[in-house]
Amino acid sequence: MSIFGNNIFGNKATHAVADPAAEGRNAGAEGQSEQPTVNKPDAQWREELTPEEYRVLRQAGTERPYTGEYWDTHTAGVYQCRACGTELFTSNEKFDSHCGWPSFWAPLAEGTVRYIHDRTMGMDRVEVRCGTCDSHLGHVFDGEGYGTPTDQRYCINSVSLRLVPKDGAEAADATTAG
Ligand SMILES: [Zn+2]
């Protein structure tokens, strides 16, 4: 069961919910914007994701460097969260860090990702998670001297992302041939 909201629904448990829509509205009204909006039981994530996706996204694992799908990708497009589909990064902010993982100097927008202080593995790092479903994406480092606009490196696992290539950019310019 969800660890969120048990207490607010506890009172209602003895009453039949007459209006499912009202129940949904109440659930939304709880709405701390800090909480991820996509909450699924662990068993459901395990079912929906491949074992490797589950290990990285839900257990904060790390794929081996230079093995991921996107570490050396230059295709124009948008990178979505592999778990929930939220757009997180774009190819415009992707750069060649040669570290073996896809690297971005900024997320797509403020608030699309969230940050957690991570002192595991004997290091002091900032973990990056999807702001929508709270899945692990990678870590962010700054001040490394990469010469990007922010001097930050969002070091993200390929398996946490899904690239949606920008389709037919030049098609928009094509004039209609009668
Ligand atoms: Zn997500």
**Which domains are assigned to the chain?**
42-165 (2.170.150.20)
CA of 49 from ligand 1 middle (Å) equals 12
In angstroms, what CA-CA distances link 119 with 69, 125, 131?
27, 6, 20
Written as six digits, the tokens of 150 are 């922010």
Please compute the mean of the pLDDT values over residues 131-141 and round it to a whole number.
97
Q: Where are the beta strands (DSSP E) in 37-159?
A: 77-81, 87-90, 94-95, 103-104, 113-118, 125-130, 136-142, 152-156
Chain centroid to CA 50: 16
pLDDT over threshold 50, residue 11:
no
Whether residue 8 has pLDDT greater than 60: no
99 is catalytic: no
pLDDT band for 34, please (50, 70, 90 cuts).
low
> Which is the catalytic residue, given 81, 130, 133, 155?
155
Residue 167: per-residue pLDDT: 83
Q: What is the pTM of this model?
A: 0.75
What's the chain's average pLDDT?
A: 82
